Structure 1
Amino acid sequence: MTAADMADETSWYAVRCVFQWDAWEGAPYEERLTLWQAVSMDQAIARAEDEARTYAGDNGHRYLEMAQCYRLATAGRPDDGDEVFSLLRDSPLGKEAYLDHYFDTGHEHQGTPTED
């Protein structure tokens, strides 16, 4: 495979963008993962950020201009069980304190919001 062929080859990328829902009580933050097929991480991020701005504008949220990208390690279309995002973080916190600090603060809105 030549460098030119590799430049045209697409891969799947997951991009996490962060939003704030200003209209909700407490103005919660949303971390949203979207999946993109692109030729590079930069292209995937650019496409995701364009969509993030549209999503934020259409829903009255604020995009916080923060995107993190992960290239999926899959040779084809994503399938059951494929890893779509991974983030390593160094922390001096013990396991319970780490989970409480980052994932179980008691202020999470889990699931899909429903309309009454």
Structure 2
Amino acid sequence: MQENAMDAWFGVRCVFLHGESIYEERIVIVIASDFDQAIAKAEDEATEYAEGLNAEYVGLAQAFALFDAPGDGAEVFSLMRDSDLPPDEYLTAFFETGDERQSDVDSSQSSAGLSR
């Protein structure tokens, strides 16, 4: 529910470091009047989250203004990147480096992250 008529929903991605070599990308949704306020709220939450897990918030916050209120199938974050790489190479370079802590949904039901 929005706080006032001028507020909107934002998805904000923050990056954390756990230990010396495990990075986590985490997206939260917040209600804010603009991008600056959305990032400030998400960074406050990120600081608390990191402290609770003895992790480090590394200082990257990227915000996305939602087009609609959150609901089933609602888009909560989008980041577009220019690249000349073909799809398989693009996915390998940015999303499937081999170091992700995830399982295929067909082989295991892991809470660490699932992919197809």
Q: Same fold (TM over 0.5)?
A: yes
Q: Distance in 2 between matches of 1:10 and 1:107?
A: 38
Residue 55 (1) aligns with residue 49 (2): yes
* Contact kept in structure 2, 1:8 and 1:39, CA below 8 Å: no
Q: Number of residue pairs matched?
A: 102
Task: Give the aligned CA root-mean-square deviation in angstroms.
Answer: 1.6
Structure of higher CA gyration radius: 1
Normalised by the size of structure 2, how large is the TM-score?
0.82
Amino acid in the other structure paired with 1:102: F
Write 1 or 2 for the structure with the bigger share of strand.
2
Identity of matched residues, %: 45
Q: Distance in 1 between matches of 2:111 and 2:27?
A: 14
Normalised by the size of structure 1, how large is the TM-score?
0.82
The higher-RCO structure (CA 8 Å, 6+ apart) is 1
Shift of residue 8, structure 1, vs aligned partner = 5.5
Q: Distance in 1 between matches of 2:59 and 2:29?
A: 17
Shift of the 83–98 alpha-carbon distance from structure 1 to 2, 3 Å rule, reads same
Structure 1 gaps of 5+ residues are: 1-6
Write 1 or 2 for the structure with the bigger share of helix.
1
